[in-house]
Amino acid sequence: MYKKTLRDVNLAGKRVVMRVDFNVPIKEGVIRDDTRIKGALPSINYVLEQGGSLVLMSHLGRPKGNGYEADYSLKPVAEYLAEMLDKPVTFAPDCLNADDLVTALKAGDIVMLENTRFYVEEQGKIKQAEGQNDEDFAAAKAEIRQKQRAMAEKFASYGDIYCNDAFGSAHRAHASTAIVDEFMETSVTGFLLEKEIEYLGNAVENPTRPFVAILGGAKVSDKLAVVKNLLDKVDTLIIGGGMAYTFLKAMGHAVGASLCENDQVEYAAQMMEKAKANGKSFLLPVDNVAADKFAADAKTEVVGNDIPEGWMALDIGPKTTALYCDAIKTAKTVVWNGPMGCFEMEKFAKGTFGVCQAVAECGAVTIIGGGDSVSAVNKSGLADKMTHISTGGGASLEFLEGKVLPGVAALDDK
């Protein structure tokens, strides 16, 4: 870990501006999954125990960026956090107008800011308006970026130390994640972000071998760079989910009505050739659970790698599940991102849960990333058997691609 952490700075009497990832599912004011809130507690508690005070900031959902939207307010999260900590959490209803609340902070106090994405300046992006010429658009982009920097400077004015503990947003160069650092003398990582970097970094750069990566999900295009990068590092790459059928089509198989990205077939063929040339084991389905429609009450049939016309493959078959599980059993490091099928429907869940069981029992260092994979692991009841469950979907993917994450790069080096 090459970045400074909270342990490397004196926090007594300091105000810490901490970017957390409290982008949690909320329905009718009730938080449905508090995993990300729990993940931030070690850093929050440490700052308070060391005699510091906290200004917490986060985004929630995808508001339009034109002001307050009740469905995306962080107020329910502030109230939930107060219950978890058994202490008051003051809520600032406007993230850019919280000076009085912040100034009043004493050691051990917490202020949580309202959703940073209520301001379009947070992300610093705008779309070109219909009919807008390029010159005017360039001027508008320059203006929004100037406002983004002003927003970041405002966040920096709230504290003495900046701490990023939001891995789920670390791949975004937003005001609250990467630009705020420019206006702070001290910028450090929190314990959750530190843990994510260490596990994913070691897995990719210094894995205990055999190293097995499992990639699933709907689209090859979502994981193009991940496949390419991991083929230089893994011993075995396992492909499942909807993305598998683009690879099977590249091998000349009929895929019926299965998900298939025709514009990626050539790329899929290139990746298989690369695996062969590099001596890597590249595993694809050998049988599939096909359905006559995408529905829980669909008629199903286990077929080989030629999917009947009009039918769609929605899960890997039993032979494939056994093949994948055998490969996982030999692993010493496993990275898994993406389910093997439509596990939300019982008829198409056996492949994903079979792989999940194998990962849980293999005795390797096991790292789970991506929202659907994490959901499957939680649903299986095997979450406590995994070494590390990542809180960042897009961030973990970009890390596996080998990209530098702006929210990490901006922090102080040790």
Sign of the alpha-carbon torsion through 322, 326, 329, 331: negative
Q: In terms of domains, do 289 and 376 share one?
A: yes
Residue carrying the six token digits 């107008």: 97
Q: In terms of domains, do 392 and 243 share one?
A: yes
In a domain, 200, yes or no: no
Q: In terms of domains, do 160 and 213 share one?
A: no
pLDDT tens digits, the chain, 414 residues: what are they?
Answer: 689 999 999 999 999 999 999 999 898 888 988 888 999 999 999 999 999 999 999 999 999 999 999 999 999 999 999 999 999 999 999 999 999 999 999 999 999 999 999 999 999 988 888 888 989 899 999 999 999 999 999 999 999 999 999 988 888 899 999 999 999 999 999 999 999 888 888 777 888 999 999 999 887 777 878 888 889 889 999 999 999 999 999 999 999 999 999 999 999 999 999 999 999 999 999 999 999 999 999 999 999 999 999 999 999 999 999 999 999 999 999 999 999 999 999 999 999 999 999 999 999 999 998 778 888 898 899 999 999 888 777 777 777 777 788 899 999 999
The answer to whether 161 touches 155, Cβ cutoff 8 Å, is no
Range of the domain at 161: 6-195
Nearest-CA neighbor of 346 among 285, 290, 297? 297
Q: In terms of domains, do 184 and 211 share one?
A: no
Q: In terms of domains, do 167 and 295 share one?
A: no
Sign of the alpha-carbon torsion through 89, 91, 92, 95: positive
In a domain, 272, yes or no: yes
In a domain, 100, yes or no: yes
Rounded CA-CA distance 205/25 in Å is: 33
Nearest 5 degrees, angle CA 106-CA 41-CA 396?
A: 130
Domain CATH for 298: 3.40.50.1260
pLDDT of residue 35: 84
Number of neighbouring beta carbons within 10 Å of residue 361: 14
pLDDT of residue 165: 97
In a domain, 413, yes or no: no
Put the strands of the sheet holding 365-369 in their side by side order. 281-283, 236-239, 211-215, 333-337, 365-369, 388-389
Rounded CA-CA distance 368/385 in Å is: 11
377's CB contacts (< 8 A; 6+ apart) are 356, 368, 383, 386, 389
In a domain, 202, yes or no: no
User: Of the residues 174, 195, 216, which one is the last residue of a structural domain?
Assistant: 195
pLDDT of residue 1: 60
CA distances from 114 to 81, 161, 219, 337, 392 (A): 14, 20, 34, 31, 21
Q: In terms of domains, do 219 and 359 share one?
A: yes
CA distances from 43 to 39, 121, 236, 410 (A): 9, 27, 36, 19
In a domain, 408, yes or no: no
pLDDT of residue 217: 86
Q: What's the domain count of the chain? A: 2
The answer to whether 178 touches 410, Cβ cutoff 8 Å, is yes
Q: In terms of domains, do 155 and 213 share one?
A: no
pLDDT of residue 288: 97
Q: In terms of domains, do 229 and 152 share one?
A: no
In a domain, 303, yes or no: yes
User: Of the residues 195, 230, 249, which one is the last residue of a structural domain?
Assistant: 195
pLDDT of residue 375: 85
User: Of the residues 195, 224, 252, which one is the last residue of a structural domain?
Assistant: 195
Q: In terms of domains, do 185 and 259 share one?
A: no
Strands 110-113, 53-57: pairing is parallel
Q: In terms of domains, do 141 and 279 share one?
A: no
In a domain, 201, yes or no: no
Q: In terms of domains, do 367 and 265 share one?
A: yes
What does pTM read for this prediction?
0.83
Q: In terms of domains, do 85 and 19 share one?
A: yes
The residues annotated with a catalytic role in the active site are 36, 219, 371, 394
